[in-house]
């Protein structure tokens, strides 16, 4: 009897110990029914337009939760306004980790803010996943193994524009109008790097502040240079203004526009479709305002209703937020019941040819232990007054098979798009208008 009693006590103690161990190893931010995810966004301030990304991510997770969540757990998405201030971003991130007890940080916007929190998160081995920044330094696992980017490199985007210019407009004069911040500088540096020895063809470049009220003066100066090509890097509202101002000045250069400012609803349409005819950008996501993708996915309408209810207005930001959140959902699905922070990073680095529903045809997501840039491809597209038409093939960098993937048409003033069957067909768009 005493032996049986001792055995029962031993079993109870063992089970109690196992339970205690189980409680100790369970990560913060995880319960049997919930996964808590942290995020900071500029919901106010000079870059508040990009706060729409956070609203889109919240709407996506709400949609997922109504369908049962991920592996039986609902996602609690906790997002705060950092007003585009790096010190505020760090303070809020600390609060999310230490007070809200989130499992990971996901999709926080902006390069300075993500730089500000990177060391803090890596020292504590907390995933900083799919940051909304295209800076190469936020995708370096050798230095920061808990930080992973998502979108293509902004510097590579600049190099791809340089490659396009060399392939179609050799010898033509170039000017640039770029936002005076880390983003604008990186794209402009990419343009210079890609042009190499012929960067001297950049006759004038003007750096402007996001709240600059003198874009008309800047564009007028650029016109007087006699340039045939204008490269713009900035926010959507300023892109629309620059396109419209150039048209008002009767200046019709080849207009190259950075991707994050290229939504039909926020740039070509406000500028006037006739003024934006022929604008070039490098894209990786479908444009929600492009008729080609009206019925892009069966989930899109359910999502967009929630997004609009949350106050979202920028559909391009909606696509970005939807696609990034969809990628995180895939990682969490791959985690199964092992939602340790270590396994989250392991699964984030094990995506293989993942085709998100809002990625352009031919654009896939792949990662690895030393590959922390999930999306490495862009596709050059051109606005025909109604929709974006593809130019050539999907590009990885400005230097990979440059002249094979970009082929000039009969003359440099015209672009003959090599179209996939999944894109609508259209006529030739004349870029260099007299």
- CATH 3.40.50.2300 boundaries in the chain: 34-152+297-348, 154-283+378-430
Query: Has domain 154-283+378-430 been given CATH number 3.40.50.2300?
Result: yes
Question: What pLDDT was estimated at residue 364?
Answer: 94
Query: What's the topology of domain 34-152+297-348?
Result: Rossmann fold (3.40.50)
Q: State residue 179 phi and psi, 5-degree precision.
A: -65, 130
CB 109 within 8 A of CB 128: no
Question: What pLDDT was estimated at residue 415?
Answer: 33
Question: What pLDDT was estimated at residue 313?
Answer: 62
For the segment 290-326, what is each residue's pLDDT rounded down to a tens digit? 888 876 656 777 787 777 776 666 567 788 999 999 9
CB 247 within 8 A of CB 216: no
Beta strand pairing call for 388-390 and 379-383 = antiparallel
CB within 8 A of 361, min separation 6: which ones?
420, 422, 423
Cβ count near 122 (within 10 Å)? 16
What is the spatial distance between Cα 53 and Cα 315, in angstroms, rounded to a whole number?
9
Regions of the chain with pLDDT less than 50? 4-24, 398-405, 407-434
């Amino acid at each position: 009897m005493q032996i049986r009693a001792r055995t029962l006590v031993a079993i109870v103690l063992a089970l109690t110990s196992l339970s205690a161990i189980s409680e100790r190893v369970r990560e913060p931010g995880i319960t049997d029914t919930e996964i808590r995810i942290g995020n900071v966004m500029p919901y106010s301030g000079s870059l508040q337009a990009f706060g729409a990304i956070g609203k889109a991510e919240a709407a996506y997770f709400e949609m997922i939760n109504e369908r049962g969540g991920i592996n039986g757990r609902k996602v609690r998405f906790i997002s705060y306004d950092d007003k585009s201030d790096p010190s505020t971003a760090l303070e809020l991130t600390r609060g999310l980790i230490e007070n809200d007890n989130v499992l990971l940080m996901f999709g926080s916007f902006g390069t300075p803010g993500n730089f500000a929190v990177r060391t803090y998160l890596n020292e504590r081995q907390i995933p900083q996943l799919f940051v909304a920044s295209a800076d190469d330094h936020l995708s370096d696992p050798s230095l920061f193994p808990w930080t992973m980017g998502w979108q293509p490199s902004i510097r590579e985007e600049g190099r791809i524009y340089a490659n396009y210019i060399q392939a179609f407009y050799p010898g033509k004069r170039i000017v640039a109008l770029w936002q005076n911040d880390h983003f604008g500088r990186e794209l402009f540096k990419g343009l210079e790097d890609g042009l190499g020895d012929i960067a001297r063809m950049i006759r004038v470049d003007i750096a402007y502040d996001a709240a600059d009220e003198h874009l008309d003066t800047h564009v007028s100066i650029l016109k007087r240079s006699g340039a045939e090509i204008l490269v713009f890097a900035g926010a959507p509202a300023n892109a629309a203004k620059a396109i419209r101002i150039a048209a008002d000045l009767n200046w019709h250069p080849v207009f190259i526009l950075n991707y994050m400012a290229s939504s039909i609803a926020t740039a070509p349409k406000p500028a006037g479709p006739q003024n934006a005819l022929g604008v070039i950008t490098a894209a990786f996501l479908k444009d929600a305002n492009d008729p080609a993708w009206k019925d892009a996915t069966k989930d899109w309408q359910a999502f967009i209703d929630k997004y609009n209810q949350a106050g979202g207005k920028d559909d391009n930001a909606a696509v970005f937020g939807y696609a990034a959140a969809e990628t995180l959902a895939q990682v969490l699905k791959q985690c199964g019941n092992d939602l340790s922070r270590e396994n989250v990073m392991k699964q984030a680095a094990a995506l293989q040819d993942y085709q998100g529903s809002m990625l352009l045809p031919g654009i896939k997501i792949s990662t690895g232990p030393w590959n922390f840039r999930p999306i490495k491809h862009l596709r050059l597209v051109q606005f025909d007054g109604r929709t974006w038409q593809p130019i050539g093939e999907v590009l990885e960098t400005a230097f990979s098979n440059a002249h094979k993937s970009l082929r000039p048409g009969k003359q440099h003033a015209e672009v003959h798009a090599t179209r996939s069957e999944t894109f609508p067909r259209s006529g030739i768009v004349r870029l260099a208008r007299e």
